[in-house]
Structure formats: structure tokens, C-alpha cells
Homo-oligomer: A and B are copies of this chain.
Amino acid sequence: MSERLAVYAEGLFADDHAKAAHGLIRYGDRETVAVIDSTQAGRRADEVVPFVGQPVPVVASVREAAQLGATRLAIGVAPAGGKLPEAWRRALLEGLELGLHLEAGLHDELHADDEIAASAAARGLDLRDLRTAPADLSTPTGEGARLPVRIVHTVGSDCAIGKMTASLELVQGARAAGESGAVFVPTGQIGISIAGWGIAVDHVISDYVAGAAERLVLDGAARGDLLVVEGQGSIQHPAYSGVTLGLLHGCTPHVLVLCHRAGETVLRDWTDVPIGPLDELCDLYERITRPIRPARVAAVAVNTSACADDDEARAAIEDVERQSGRPADDPVRFGPQRLWAAIGSALPVPGAA
């Protein structure tokens, strides 16, 4: 894509709330030419947040970002409740005045703001509301499973343990290894903000979860031939298992990758719900996937971010390998090569899927 992004993160770029901004820079397909945060202006993005890995200039205003060649202004922070604060609104309106297209994944839609909509229409500029699900979703047709693409799906032992990050690292690793058709398929708000497309499957009507997942496979197949579909929740989670299973069945994966946080034995928010043993959890995912299309849990992506150092992380990963009976690694800390070696041998031959 030829879009050049200005990522808006005023006052928050150093914060966890700017996770979408960080992901956009580290993983995005589109070039980010400026970060807007007046409290960090003059520094480089990777000085403020080393994780982003790109020396993008941080500037104080939308105007400066436009001068650096931005073509679209993207909101890179998630406000509490998804509502658009007035200061951000002013920044978006200024972006339109400067000729920038807009993009946001807010609950308050850009299209629903009369002033923003009128300004964009008058200037012929595009408003991209990432949170809006397609209006024509329905139940799946079976078409997704017949496409000649290979589909990897990251499933979880709990919520919020790094399924999105593992998926993004897997795609980066695949591309680095020559799989130019590797595509991250976003299924949640932040992933959508990073990729600039996708459907938040937990916001669609429950009857259409699997249909939304199939739609994402169809859309992903237009972008590449090796899809890594971001998982949601866990099949054992009292609150989110319905979304997890609808997504799992709807995206018809060839291979599953279990994502797990090192050392976790019960759900973080439901401590009376046990996670393991991990080999049984892998078996359950495989058993429930089988009637739709058989898929092995070929590897486990381990989140070792809480480990003090690489030695502790290595030990935690080896423990997961023993418990799960699968190859495991932390793709963020040690790269996705070991995971891909296991995934690749379980995937169908390209084009023959």
C-alpha cells in the first residue's frame, strides 16, 4: 500500500494505552512517517518505546506530521470506553483541513460525527471506521475452507496472553523466510488498528461469529496465501468461550498454535478455572476442531515477558514442552523460527490447500 501514516498518540505514546500505535509501527504493512505526541516531540519513536524498532520522528502537531509526507491520520490510542475526546476530535478535523484521510477504531464512529463527515465529504477524503463490522454478515457458507490458502490459527489458554503479538511475530518471521504471501488476519480492535482492516468478532451478533471468521479468511485470501488468524479468548473461558469456538470453527484452520503465559495454571480473572494439563488442553482443541477440519496443535507460543532473563525464559519454555508434548518457544524473545519449523511440517503444500 502507498499510504503513509501519521499516528496520533497525544500524551500517551510511552504508555501501554498506545499499544495500537506501537504495533502499527513494529508490524504494520504501511509506513509510519510520524508519531504525534507533543510530550515526546523531538525524540525518535524507538527511543521512547524500544519495542517499535523504527526511528520514526515524534512531532508535536498534525501539521508537522503532514509536512513529513503523511497521507492518513490514524488514531493509535484506545480511549476509555471507546469515546472520542474533544481534543482528539480537533486533531482529526485539523487533519482533514490539511488533506489527510482518517482512520480510527473507536466506538464513536467517524462517519457518525456530522462535522467530521461533512468536512471529509467536502474535501473528497476517506473516513475508515475500523470497528464497523460489515452490514451483510451471515452464517458461513463453507467457501472459506475451499480456498487454496494455508491457515494457521493462534488459540489460547486464557485471554490477554499475547495471541495477537504471537500472530504478528509469526507473520513477520514467515515473510523474513521468504513467504511473501504471509498475512496477519486481525480479529480484535488492536489488531485491526495495526493492520488497518479486519472484524472485531466479539462485537458481531453471536449467530454470525463463524460467518465473520469465514469472511476474514476470504478477505485475507485476497491479500496472501498464508494466513495467520489471530485467536480470541480460550475454549475454557467462562465468559469468552463462545467467541473462541465460533472463530475457531469459522476460520477452518489447517494448524493451531497454542498461546500460553509461562507459569499460568488457572485463568487470571477466574482463578477457580484450571488451565491444564497443557497436553489435555491441546487435545481438547484438536478434538473440537476435528469435525470441521482436522488441525493439529503443532506448537506452543510461550509468553515469557514476566521471566527475569533469557535463562529463566528457556527453562519455562522447556517446562511447557514437557507439559504439552509440543515444540514451544517465545517468538518475541527468541524469534518464531522454532515455531515455524513445527507449523510448516503440519501445513499443506502451498496452493494445494
Contacts and interface: CB of A to CB of B under 8 A. Distances in A.
Interface of A: 139-140, 142, 201-211, 235-247, 249-250, 270, 273-274, 284, 287-288, 291-292
Contacts of A249: 237-238, 241-242
A233 B140 CA distance: 14
Nearest to A270: B142
Contact of A211 (B204, B208, B239): B239
Contacts of A211: 239
A240 to B, nearest CB: 7
Contacts of A270: 142
A276 to B, nearest CB: 10
Nearest to A212: B206
A201 B206 contact: yes
B284 A236 contact: no
A245 B287 CA distance: 14
Given A204-B206, A236-B288, A243-B246, 13 more contacts: A142-B270, A206-B209, A207-B240, A207-B243, A210-B242, A211-B239, A237-B249, A241-B288, A244-B245, A273-B291, A274-B291, A284-B287, A287-B287
Nearest to A234: B291
A209 B239 CA distance: 8
A247 B206 CA distance: 11
Contacts of A139: 239-240
B203 A203 contact: no
A220 to B, nearest CB: 18
Contacts of A243: 206-207, 209, 242, 246
A209 B140 contact: no
B291 A236 contact: yes
A249 B247 CA distance: 16
9 contacts: A140-B238, A140-B239, A206-B208, A235-B245, A238-B292, A242-B245, A273-B291, A284-B287, A284-B288
Contact of A240 (B202, B210, B235, B244): B210
A207 B238 CA distance: 11
A285 to B, nearest CB: 10
A203 B202 contact: no
B142 A235 contact: no
A201 to B, nearest CB: 7
Given A204-B205, A246-B243, A291-B274, A210 B238 contact: yes
A247 B273 CA distance: 17
